[in-house]
Amino acid sequence: MKNRHYLDLIISPNVTEKSTSLSEFNKVVFKVRKGVSKNLIKKSIEKIFKVNVIKINTINLKGKTKRKTPAPYSKDYMKEKWGVTVQDYAQKEGLIKKPTGKKSPKDVEGSGFGFFSYIFIISIIFLSFIGVLKLAESTIVMQFPFLESYIDYFFEVPNNFADHLFETLDNFKIFISDFFR
């Protein structure tokens, strides 16, 4: 404890009804680190507050113990108090069906969007990427005008692909509209 600073020993003043009533008799109550001797407490209070300490009383308080009971309406609580869980009671009363070994089509793993949904999502992502590239193209050309021919060559393929994709989507839209007439 020799290396500790005086301010590290005292945690805070303890403000309670009892400690405020003791202040009438020029007594002050502090929370102090565990394991600090009365001598060190006396020295630190004298150094910090520049007062003459006459007497030090210490006490070690234990914390409150918590009860170890399950939370109300939890599975453990219901089992302990009533001898049955909510699910067992509901099955017995016929409020819910008993689980069977069969899985419904919704529970089967691997079911998802489907092939065409994935193609649709990928095409939307690709079109967004092409849009970002077109925005980048104009800013790059503005910054480096001497590279314009190289930049045009680099962006020619995605531009052609996007044009073909839009043309295909328009044809598909016409096909669907003719089909449902």
Shared-domain flag, residues 88 and 124: no
- CB under 8 Å to 42, separation ≥6 — which residues? 53, 56
Confidence of residue 29 (pLDDT cuts 50, 70, 90): very high
Question: Does the structure show a pLDDT above 80 at 60?
Answer: yes
Shared-domain flag, residues 96 and 122: no
| Tens-digit pLDDT profile for residues 103-150 | 665 555 555 567 777 888 888 888 788 778 778 877 888 888 888 888
In a domain, 120, yes or no: yes
Strand boundaries in 7-165, DSSP class E: 10-13, 30-32
In a domain, 126, yes or no: yes
What is the chain's mean pLDDT, rounded? 79
Residue 102 has a pLDDT of 63
Domain encompassing residue 20: 6-49
Check: pTM over 0.85? Answer yes or no: no
Total number of domains constituting the chain:
3
Question: Does the structure show a pLDDT above 60 at 63?
Answer: yes
Distance (Å) of CA 35 to CA 1, 11, 55, 116, 130: 9, 13, 18, 71, 69
